[in-house]
Amino acid sequence: MKYHPINPKLFIENRKRFTAEMEAKSIAIFNSNDIFETGADSTLPFHQHRDIFYLSGVDQEESVLVLYPDATTATHKEILFVKETSELIAIWEGEKLSKEKATQVSGIETVYWLSEMETILNDLIPSAANIYINQNNHKRAPRQMQTREDRFILQLQQQYPHHRYLASYNLLFELRGIKSDIEIALIQQACNITKKGFDRVLNFVKPGVWEYEIEAELMHEFLRNRSKGFAYTPIIASGYSACVLHYIENNQQCKDGELILMDTAAEYANYSSDLTRTIPANGRFTERQKSVYQSVLNVKDKATAMVKEGTLWSDYNQAIGEWMTEELLNLRLIDKVDVQNQTKELPAYKKYFMHGTSHHLGLDTHDYGNFTDQMKANMVLTVEPGIYIPKENLGVRLEDNIVVQKNQAPINLMQHIPIEIEEIEEKMNA
């Protein structure tokens, strides 16, 4: 792995929190992701399933975690199965986890080779009443392919049809929404790497540069700072493309007088950062661009101040809608008649700001976490308002990563990344 070793205390504590929520006489099983084929003998780079990483720190294919708090044998309360390594594998693929290394990474004392799993599970599962299975129930999940986890679940249900099956997602959804200090430090490191990339781009961008050249500059800086690269597919959108929310082609030339919206950020140790900045291709905002930019920044600053423990999500979203409406009126993009004719389902501001303002951030860019109740301390959230005006080939979005605090102002993990108009212009023209 490119990243520095992570304190196994993180994974030990995560397992304690998870098993404390499990029903009695239950066993939970978590699989690594597949290595996905692309054709012939080629594969995509391996990306670990976030749930097994969250609970074990194991960042290797063909690994399985088993948690059975009520196991009669103490050594079987936590079990890690890893792929058996050999000299041949070491020569062709590189070093894999030994049993000793797996314990060092995860804090799990009982480690077996994967070839032993069937025998051991056949001994453990009959004594359990429930089996926690790890399906991806995220509301944005594409659900278009069968995963290693899916295949394993089908096999389990055929072999043990009379057990009660529970969703580990329901527990992890709440647990992963609250970050530990170690997790916040890892996200901060991802943000620090992102800053280095953004600083590099501010000195690189000029009229005539291509969007993919900006992407290349960012990737260079991310990789040289121990990141695997982008935390998500990068959006580098100049001119009209900034009004396409998920524009990812990054194949246009940035023209003099245009703005460039960059929704790009680094990962570190599987933890995501999520940055959006909008900059002028020529290093100077026009007066109109400044007005729209400042309106977005005004909403972002007010929204950030609301990110604190106890804030109701409903109050937060309503306030942002009211602030954005006021800004759009000032920009003369909507008028009082538009506001009078708006409905609850389709407020006037949605014509120019059509997406949500915040999502949870962590091991996934759109991480697990609750949106229905209130904000809680140590949630890590994005704040990302935007205004998109296709007729003017103008789109502005600004985004920072914010840690919810109890009884004090939120922590902006990106407060060191330039965002004010004057600061952007100064750095681009230095």
The predicted-structure confidence for 21-59, as pLDDT tens digits, reads as follows 999 999 999 999 999 888 898 888 999 999 999 999 999
Q: What is the pLDDT averaged over residues 109-121?
A: 97
Q: What is the pLDDT of residue 379?
A: 98
Buried residues in 333-372 as b, exposed as e (16+ CB within 10 A): bbeeebeeebeeeebbbeebbeeebbbbbbbbbbbbbebe
Q: Is the pLDDT of residue 232 over 90?
A: yes
Q: How far is CA 40 from CA 36, 37, 65, 146, 292, in A?
A: 12, 8, 31, 20, 50
Structure confidence at residue 89 as a pLDDT band (50, 70, 90):
confident
The alpha-helical segments, DSSP class H, found in 57-180 are 87-92, 99-106, 117-124, 148-159, 168-175
pLDDT at 93 (0 to 100): 84
Q: What is the pLDDT of residue 142?
A: 73
Give the per-residue pLDDT at 145.
Answer: 80
- Band of pLDDT at residue 92, cut at 50, 70 and 90: confident
How confident is the model at residue 27, as a pLDDT?
98
What average pLDDT does this structure show over 410-424? 98
pLDDT band at residue 401 under the 50/70/90 scheme: very high
64-67 and 26-31 beta bridge pairing? antiparallel
Residue 329 has pLDDT above 90, yes or no: yes
pLDDT beyond 90 at 141: no
Q: What is the overall mean pLDDT for the chain? A: 96
Q: What is the mean pLDDT of the segment spanning 396-410?
A: 97
Residue 64 to residue 125: CA distance in whole angstroms: 15
CB 8 within 8 A of CB 104: yes
| Domains by residue range for the chain, with CATH | 9-174 (3.40.350.10), 181-428 (3.90.230.10)
* Contact predicate 190/227, CB 8 Å: yes
pLDDT greater at residue 89 or residue 59: 59
pLDDT single digits (tens) 258-276 = 999 999 999 999 999 999 9
Query: Quick one: average pLDDT of 127-152?
Result: 86
Helices marked H in 40-80: 50-56
Q: Which of 49, 78, 44 is nearest to 152 (CA)?
A: 49
| Whether the predicted pLDDT of 135 surpasses 90 | no
Q: Would you call 148 exposed, middle or buried from its count of C-beta atoms within 10 A (0-12, 13-18, 19+)? A: middle
Using DSSP, state whether 103 is helix, strand or coil: helix
pLDDT of residue 163: 97
Choose among 55, 49, 59: nearest CA to 149.
Answer: 49
Cα separation of 131 and 274, whole Å?
A: 35
pLDDT at 136: 78
pLDDT at 105: 98
Cα separation, 281 vs 295, whole angstroms: 20
